[in-house]
Structure 1
Amino acid sequence: MFKKVVFIVVVSGLLLTVFYWKEIRKKTQTITAQKRVETFMSGSLQEGDIIFQTSGSNQSKAIQLATKSRYSHMGILYKQGEQWGVYEAVQPVKLTALKEWIQRGEQGHYVIKRLKNAKRILTPETLSKMKMAGTKYKGKDYDIYFEWSDEKIYCSELVWKIYKEGAGIELGKLEKLRDFDLSSTIVRQKLKERYGETLPLNEEVISPAAIFDSKQLETIGSD
């Protein structure tokens, strides 16, 4: 009996040690990532840059599989005063502090891309137009059906329309829902959950992957 009690105590101690080690490691990684972000933000970002991540939403995996991309969420970087934020379509459309946005993604990983010749093209006047174009979407609900309308809106649609309406630039190729890989069980389950048995296969869609792969963009940073 004594040996059994000792064994249980030892195992419990080891489990607690592993748990606390993981928590300390997680906090250390978060602090290190924050420092790298702050260093990067200090002089490398420009308004209008586009940031990508793998979100923790329950639809993220389905988006990754359907688009064959690691990235399932995105937004536009804007600066308010001395603080950087990500204008994004979540629930609802809003500006989120950059550090908060990064921490929300999978393992704090992100990629930032920029329009080629951005300094020449994204003038203060153009950026002002882009911000005005995005204002009409502020507070709108997230579009879980990925419809091409302005009533509700999803992340890549928000970025695409802001660039199109504010700068006259189309980032990424519009596709039909039928163009994506809908074969996996995860994707089919999510589609059935959203649409039932009738899929809007001809609905126009712009995916994070399409914008990420746009030849009009270049990568300027990641972590």
Structure 2
Amino acid sequence: MPGQEKVEMQWMPRPEESAPSNCPQGLEYLLLIDQLLVHQKIELLELMTGFETENKYVVKNSLGQQVYYAKEVSDCATRQCCGPNRPFQMQITDNAGKEVMRLDRPFRCGFQCCCETQRPFLEVQAPPGNPIGYVKSEACACVWPTFLLLDLNMQPILRIHTPCCGVGCCDCSPKYPVRSMDGQDVGLIQKQWSGLTKEMFTDADNFGVSFPMDLDVKMKGVMLGALFLIDFLFFETQKQNH
């Protein structure tokens, strides 16, 4: 609009120091980060019609600089019919437009299924085609679900606990503590309150994830993947104005 200046997105500069040999290319940004903010973009078509579109996200550091851009790739029919259980790939690109991470989620029946092979699961790849870890649901709905964050060898490294009411019915900012396997606090995934209108009429969400600066960079990537899985499982259902 006239009289308004266009705000340019500032990207996080690529780290000047060389990354360790075990750091996947593109994840060197995470070496210098202990927090990420994830903002889902509002889709006008979805807002006006309720027609579920592919999700898009901006991933920023604590200074507000963009680190990554994430875009869901999924089939139109499954988005409308399968809702939060739908299969998808999430393509995560850096400031050069290069895909540095890919999240691969197969179709699963959800928490209600007591069959372990049908509970929520996510593979994290960095670069695409190279798995670095996994996220899987540890328990079915009869025991409130927790998530295991696994390394490449499917060994559990971290556990995510969900709040008792899942989507935080008593709290606008539900918290998902991340703990080591012996119960020590390691990090936190938290949904951020994004405003009454946005919360009521869209399923576009804001999240934050924090972790120790010295956490293995691959596990930081797996935690980011877990954030997206939590968004789909608990917050993807289209809001209705009652």
Say yes or no: TM over 0.5.
Answer: no
Q: Which structure is richer in relative contact order (CA contacts within 8 A, separation 6 or more)? A: 1
TM-score (norm 1): 0.24
More strand by share: 2
Structure with bigger gyration radius: 1
More helix by share: 1
